[in-house]
Amino acid sequence: MVQFYSPNRRSVNRGIISVTADNLDAQGQGIARHQGKTIFIAGLLPGEQAQIQLTEEKRQFAKAKVVKRLSDSLHRVAPHCPHFKVCGGCQQQHVAAELQVKTKASVLEHLIQRETGVNISAHPVIRSPEYGYRRRARLGLQYHAKQRTLLMGFRQSQTNDLVNIQHCPVMRPELEQLLRPLHQCLNSLHAVKRLGHVELVLAENGPLVVLRHLDPLKQEDKEILCIFSVQYNVAIYLLGEEKSLEPLIEEQTAPWYQVNGLKLVFSPQDFIQVNDVVNQQMVAQALAWLDLQPTDRVLDLFCGMGNFTLPIATQVQATVGVEGVAELVASGQYNAQLNKLNNVDFFHENLESDIHQQPWAAQGFNKVLLDPARAGAAGVMAHIVKLAPEKVVYVSCNPTTLARDSKVLLAAGYHLVSVRMLDMFPHTGHLESMALFSSEPMDIE
């Protein structure tokens, strides 16, 4: 019998070993060393000793689960959520907020130093409330035939199974208090077996609900939803078969939020920052770093609906926003008119294609801001260098691509002046950040 060698197949030692964690990673996993190998252990904090069992073993590292914790760290706290450890939404509610923030900032600093050679502090951190910060949340809906009831909630970690959510302390209280009555309402619909998901959003003018339904809703169901809408003062939008969004009640006021004193109207399907408190601080920091002057011409790439573009426009000669999603560009143009900003142009362009032929690319700009998705901004970095701006502010939701793209600016002679860790999603492994690059050396207080 012929046997084939598989280099990726490694046996896992199922024995129990004792370790002491000496660090924490950005995902909230304890880091320990055993016989020269790094082990990542979910739920273990620095300084804690535990008996563990390996669950996955690679050449350079291993993963393990705690069999028995033998000591407790002073940084271990009681989670606020009754669904913690089951729900996959939060991973770090057992970790004191200060340790979460310190760890993420350290991870960001280490990654930048390793990839670029620049030693820089990510402090002071832009902080968030520890709980009650999410103004947007999407929950899955799944009819459980055996129990004859609707499950509404987030997915369990590493599975497709839903956790039926009754409480969610990271949501804004105005949204969390809707969970029980909304579940009861949806469970009473005739279409209960044919619902996809529900999204809760908190606008300045009140909460709204977007309901994805897979079949047309009967009039009786619409009447049930109308009663809920009036009783709880919630605007409801229906997302049907063609994924076209329709307000349940025609005279519903469009949702809006404020940033830097401006009113931004948005569609319930538009992307807006989940954490309003951090968003306000982030925009203010970006504007301060750019040191905006009345003669500036500023380019905002991956601009969305103008979260940065419009506040920038209030202080400069001209601003251009470029975005790949047509609906967001339309929202940005509408909000520019709403706020009487006549020095803003928005372009709907694919920033991953050949940007040099795009109409905005021929214009001159002396300052640039970019806020790309997780994939980063590899396609535009060379053009930013070509523009030779005085300052570049890079807002990032992925420190790996931030570090990668930073190399282009550093190689072109730019200086990495300042970095901030953004505590956008407490209790999760998401690491948001922003960085300031300058063509000349400068000091930041």
Q: Is 228 annotated as a binding residue?
A: no
Is 371 labelled as part of a ligand binding site?
Answer: yes
CA dihedral 345, 351, 356, 358 (to 10 degrees): -40
Is the distance from CB of 420 to CB of 396 less than 8 angstroms? no
Give how far Cα 379 sits from Cα of 184, 353, 403, Å: 48, 7, 15
> Coil, strand, or helix at residue 97?
helix
Q: Is 185 a catalytic residue?
A: no
Task: Consult the annotation and say whether 445 binds a ligand.
Answer: no
Other beta carbons within 10 Å of 73: 19
Helix crossing, 97-116 with 399-411: angle to 10°? 40
Query: What separation in angstroms does the CA of 420 have from each of 31, 63, 438?
Result: 24, 30, 15
Q: Measured between alpha carbons, how far is 390 from 365 in angstroms, rounded to an integer? A: 9
Question: Alpha-carbon torsion 141, 159, 25, 119, what sign?
Answer: negative
Residue in the structure block whose two tokens are 């991956």: 302
> Do the annotations mark residue 168 as ligand-binding?
yes
C-beta contacts of 35-40 below 8 A and 24+ residues apart:
37/61, 37/62, 38/62, 39/63, 39/64, 40/64
CA angle 311, 314, 319 (to 5 degrees): 80
Report how far apart, in Å, the C-alpha atoms of 36 and of each of 12, 27, 33, 253 are.
16, 22, 6, 61
Among residues 307, 284, 286, 309, the alpha carbon closest in space to that of 298 is found at: 309
Say if strands 16-20 and 49-57 run parallel, antiparallel, or are unpaired: antiparallel
Longest dimension (CA), the chain: 79
303 marked as binding residue = no
Residue 307, annotated ligand binder? yes
Candidate list 185, 226, 303, 397, residue with the active-site label: 397
Cα–Cα distance, 156 to 192 (Å, whole number): 22
What type of residue is 81?
C
87 is in an annotated binding site: yes
> Has 185 been labeled as part of a binding site?
no
For the chain, the distance separating the N- and C-terminal CA atoms, rounded to the nearest angstrom, is 70
Residue ranges for the binding site for S-adenosyl-L-methionine?
Answer: 273, 302, 307, 323, 350, 371
Residue ranges for the binding site?
Answer: 81, 87, 90, 168, 273, 302, 307, 323, 350, 371
Residue ranges for the binding site for [4Fe-4S] cluster?
Answer: 81, 87, 90, 168
The set of catalytic residues is 397
